[in-house]
Amino acid sequence: MEKRISTSILFLILTSFISCKSQEDKKTEIIQTPKYFKTFYEVEGDLDEDEIPEKVIVYDTEKETDFGTERQIYIYKKNNDKWLLWNKSVGAILPSKHGGMMGDPFEGISVEGNCIIVNHSGGSREKWNYSHTFKYQSGDFQLIKAAVSYGSPCDYFMSFDYNLSNGKVNYEKETENCENEISKIEKKEMIAKLKALPSMDGFYPGNNKLTFPNSEITIYY
């Protein structure tokens, strides 16, 4: 009988210790949301190729701009079961009302191939889509790829793909007339290498211009 009681007491002590330890571990992993911010989107993935996932959080700052509330990206690294702020950026996520008639332009953020990919869309009759890929290199998150598309039915559709790492640009525009069932496709390619790749911090989608030489074609990415 005494042996059973001792075993039961030992079991309760161990269970209590494990429970407390588990609660303690959970406590250390909680990220404190910055004052007045709201967590808007969250994703995890390896960004520095150390096989340990980082946490990427998009916060709505509730700071009003001309196009709605400002969003910011915070990136956290785990160290001894604690999330530590590693990097943050303002601008790469468009404000809450920048999508025009479509409303909030934010489509999502993901981590693929050690890169952060940010997607936006918006417009009214003419719809647009942005996809920007950022990679951690040279001590910073830099833009390495931009993909843009926009257009409207029975008018035209344009797609633009820019690999900033090697400077390769691909452009295609299809003009269509639905009444006559006629369409025309125009394609262009060029190399446009930048002296320095844009940093994620301070980058604003759609505010960056690229013009094809000897052409009236100008793309905003």
Q: How many domains does the structure of the chain reveal?
A: 1
Q: Does 63 map to a domain?
A: yes
Residue 27 covered by a domain? no
**pLDDT 10s digits, 135-180:** 999 999 999 999 999 999 889 999 999 999 999 999 999 998 888 8
C-beta separation of 131 from 147 below 8 A: yes
| Residue 21 counted as domain residue | no
pLDDT tens digits for range 57-101: 999 999 999 999 999 999 999 998 899 999 999 999 999 999 988
Mean per-residue pLDDT over the chain, rounded: 88
Is 5 within a domain?
A: no
How does DSSP classify residue 103? -
Residue 80 lies in a domain: yes
Confidence bin at 21 (pLDDT 50/70/90): very low
- Domain residues for the domain of 79 are 38-220
